[in-house]
Amino acid sequence: MPSAISTRHLSRSFGQRKAVDDLTIDIQQGELFSLLGTNGAGKTTTIRMLCCLLQPTAGEATVLGHDLVNGNNALIKNVIGVSPQETAIAGHLTTKENLILMGRVHGQDKKAASIRAEQLMELMELEDRKEWTKRLSGGQQRRLSIAMALVSDPQIVFLDEPTLGLDPHARKSVWNYIERLKGEKTILLTTHYLEEADALSDHLAIMDNGKVIASGTSRELKQQLVRNRPLRVTANTFPDAIISQLTEAGYQVETIDHGLDISASQMDIYAVVDLLRNNHIELTGINLQEPTLDEVFLTLTGKSTPEPSSPSKPVKP
């Protein structure tokens, strides 16, 4: 099966500044792929290029096999839906009216647009909201924005900072609705929130200064740090011969009370445990704390956890 989105050396410059620099990623059909990074990392610029809103300066890209750079962009626009960072909701219309309006923009007749609006209101649990959308809570407005991106039943959905500014309760509520789409749609999500990428993503890429500096599953990225962490094992006794074997195998060993702290530049946990058990050491404990995605981000970028730029105050659910 071909990739839903594929880029090769995709770049975009604004004058002398490269907003996106040599981006190469592959997003498989049906997966949720997150772009994670601080303000100015290149996430939104990437989405704007893939949505045909911004012409790349260099490189190649395909969206469901359609050539982004030299092809017919109308073919791409027919298979994508976009929920932008700045909501496009018309505050003087109701939830249903917003969705019908979007349906009409996509060429649906009035009846089809009304039916689709009701389906999406049920999906996002907005069917009881009859008031103008400017009176909806922040979380409800975000859910409506996602529903508007789904009106044309696109195969690919772009969610640009879908929970920006929401408080933790509202944010997790939106996560639940995004989870419902996984597997049915290909989703490219950008986010400042590390826990969001960790909870939702099948794969993710960390961007810094326009470049992808790491990509993989959350577990794969964390494993890079695990290899550099000490493994603590405990047992009633550790003969000197065991410590010597570990040292000869390239591990640094520190003796603690009823245990050992074992570290190496490339930690192979299973090899250590097998060595101990093959020497009839009855282990009473094995501890290797998994790093958080926050620690991965800090290690890779040298920057603290990314913070949203706006809004400055959390929006209530």
Pairing status of strand 32-36 against strand 186-191:
parallel
With a pLDDT cut of 70, the percent of the chain lying above it is 92
- The average pLDDT across 196-218 equals 93
Q: Hey, what long-range contacts does 13-17 have (CB within 8 A, 24 or more apart)?
A: 13/57
- The average pLDDT across 177-190 equals 93
Query: Which residue type sits at 153?
Result: D
Residue 153 CA neighbour count, 13 Å, CB half = 8
Lowest mean pLDDT among 77-86, 208-217, 220-229: 220-229
Which pLDDT band holds residue 229 (cuts at 50, 70, 90)? low
Pairing status of strand 156-160 against strand 80-83:
parallel
Note the pLDDT of residue 295.
78
Q: Is the pLDDT of residue 232 over 90?
A: no
> In terms of domains, do 75 and 24 share one?
yes
Q: Is the pLDDT of residue 26 over 60?
A: yes
DSSP codes, 119-142:
HHHHHTT-TT--SBGGGS-HHHHH
> In terms of domains, do 66 and 172 share one?
yes
Q: Is the pLDDT of residue 164 over 80?
A: yes
> In terms of domains, do 283 and 164 share one?
no
Phi, psi of 252 (to 5 degrees): -90, 130
> In terms of domains, do 32 and 55 share one?
yes
Here the CATH number for the domain that contains residue 270 is 3.30.70
> In terms of domains, do 70 and 171 share one?
yes
CA 239 to chain centre: 47
Residue 119 within any structural domain of the chain: no
Residue 130 within any structural domain of the chain: no
Q: Is the pLDDT of residue 211 over 70?
A: yes
- The average pLDDT across 57-80 equals 95
Owning domain of residue 67: 5-79+154-223
Note the pLDDT of residue 241.
92
Lowest mean pLDDT among 11-15, 78-82, 303-307: 303-307
> In terms of domains, do 71 and 12 share one?
yes
The tokens describing 209, both together, are 């200064």
Which pLDDT band holds residue 201 (cuts at 50, 70, 90)? very high
Domain final residue, candidates 223, 245, 280: 223
- The average pLDDT across 111-118 equals 96
Residue 51 within any structural domain of the chain: yes
Phi, psi of 203 (to 5 degrees): -140, 155
> In terms of domains, do 158 and 259 share one?
no
Residue 204, helix vs strand vs coil: strand
pLDDT, mean over the chain: 88
Residue 313 within any structural domain of the chain: no
Residue 298 within any structural domain of the chain: no
> In terms of domains, do 211 and 234 share one?
no
> In terms of domains, do 188 and 238 share one?
no
